[in-house]
């Protein structure tokens, strides 16, 4: 089997992401297998685990097309993305113009600069769209947001070289994993309570039927000898779904408690394998 990790330093994501795993990495690392073939991350978001793991061969996917096009822009033309970002002013009027742009008609470089700009300047770095797929998060009014961090973007661009990037549902990409590969699933979580849910990363939410479909895919992968790691909330439904044939490891994360509560609290989450 191929050596699974490159002998280079891990790096951090260049995007902020709701449910991002950056602060949980210390608790996830002990469960990375020593050896694996290809690494697959079908719900990639800001790719915190991918950038930490530095696998030799990887496939990353998400249903958010603009996000995947952003990774392509950073992988293929990072200097052009940096030049564009460096030319964008931080003010509300420009932000509102960017929000309205018909970005899907543009090239990956423009999409990447658009996505990163809005990620750094919108409220809480949220990505949310309306029914027409228009970005609709309000201006964050931050004093000095780090809109362009050239060295970080260049490092991420290098790590993404030769990485397969796809816009697809998790089932399509996960089923390609072979014996000995590693798949890390980080889906939108089963909500802990009716008010704590944030599952609208794209126009389509992630309901309980999707959670069960994900369980079925993980069962199929494990039966084929694929290493599987999966994150989810500690909602009773998650223990129920993964009650048979899986180990549910409790980890702790600092998260926003609910939309109506501005504070952050320690929340128990699960790492399932």
- Smallest distance, ligand SAM to C-beta of residue 202, A: 5
- Smallest distance, ligand SAM to C-beta of residue 120, A: 15
Of 121 and 233, CB closest to ligand SAM: 233
Q: Is 108 helix (H, G, I), strand (E, B) or coil?
A: helix
- Smallest distance, ligand SAM to C-beta of residue 165, A: 13
Of 121 and 173, CB closest to ligand SAM: 173
Burial 35-72 (b: 16+ CB within 10 A, else e): ebbbbbbbbbbbbbbbbbbbbebbbbbbbbebbbbbbb
CB atoms near residue 207 (< 10 Å): 12
- Smallest distance, ligand SAM to C-beta of residue 50, A: 8
**Between vectors from CA 247 to CA 245 and to CA 250, what angle results, nearest 5°?**
150
Cα 209 from Cα 204, distance rounded (Å):
13
Distances (CA, A) of 120 to 7, 59, 90, 267: 30, 26, 10, 25
For ligand SAM, the binding residues (CB under 6 A) are 17, 19-21, 42-43, 45-46, 48, 62-64, 169-170, 186-188, 201-202, 206
Six-digit token string for 99: 């929000």
- Smallest distance, ligand SAM to C-beta of residue 83, A: 26
Residue whose C-alpha is closest to residue 180's, from 272, 57, 271: 57
Six-digit token string for 154: 């260049």
Of 10 and 94, CB closest to ligand SAM: 10
Q: Is 255 helix (H, G, I), strand (E, B) or coil?
A: strand
Of 71 and 88, CB closest to ligand SAM: 71
Of 48 and 111, CB closest to ligand SAM: 48
- Smallest distance, ligand SAM to C-beta of residue 76, A: 21
Of 4 and 231, CB closest to ligand SAM: 231
For residue 120, give every residue at least 6 positions away whose Cβ sits within 8 Å of its Cβ, in sequence order, or none.
16, 142, 145, 146, 147
Of 43 and 88, CB closest to ligand SAM: 43
Residue whose C-alpha is closest to residue 230's, from 244, 245, 246: 246
What residue is closest to ligand SAM based on CB? 45
- Smallest distance, ligand SAM to C-beta of residue 111, A: 15
Assess contact for 2 and 56: CB atoms under 8 A: yes
């Amino acid at each position: 089997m191929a050596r699974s990790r490159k002998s280079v330093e891990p790096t951090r994501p260049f995007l902020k992401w709701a449910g991002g795993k950056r602060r949980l990495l210390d608790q996830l690392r002990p469960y990375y297998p020593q050896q694996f073939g290809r690494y697959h991350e079908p719900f990639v978001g800001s790719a915190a685990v991918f950038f930490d793991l530095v696998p030799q061969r990887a496939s990353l996917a998400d249903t958010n097309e603009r996000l995947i096009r952003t990774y392509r822009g950073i992988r293929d033309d990072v200097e052009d993305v940096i030049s564009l970002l460096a030319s964008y002013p931080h003010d509300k009027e420009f932000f509102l113009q960017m929000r309205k742009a018909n970005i899907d008609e543009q090239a990956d470089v423009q999409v990447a600069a658009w996505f990163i700009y809005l990620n750094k300047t919108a409220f809480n770095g949220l990505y949310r769209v309306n029914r027409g797929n228009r970005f609709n998060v309000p201006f964050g009014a931050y004093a000095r947001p780090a809109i362009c961090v050239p060295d970080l973007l260049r490092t991420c661009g290098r790590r993404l070289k030769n990485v397969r990037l796809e816009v697809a549902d998790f089932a399509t990409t996960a089923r390609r994993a072979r014996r000995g590969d590693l798949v890390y699933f980080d889906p939108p979580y089963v909500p802990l309570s009716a008010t704590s849910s944030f599952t609208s990363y794209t126009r389509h939410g992630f309901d309980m039927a999707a959670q069960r479909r994900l369980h079925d895919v993980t069962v199929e992968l494990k039966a084929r000898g694929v290493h599987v790691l999966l994150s989810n909330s500690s909602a009773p439904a998650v223990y129920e779904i993964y009650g048979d044939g899986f180990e549910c490891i409790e980890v702790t994360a600092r998260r926003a408690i609910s939309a109506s509560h501005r504070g952050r609290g320690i929340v128990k989450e699960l790492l399932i394998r």
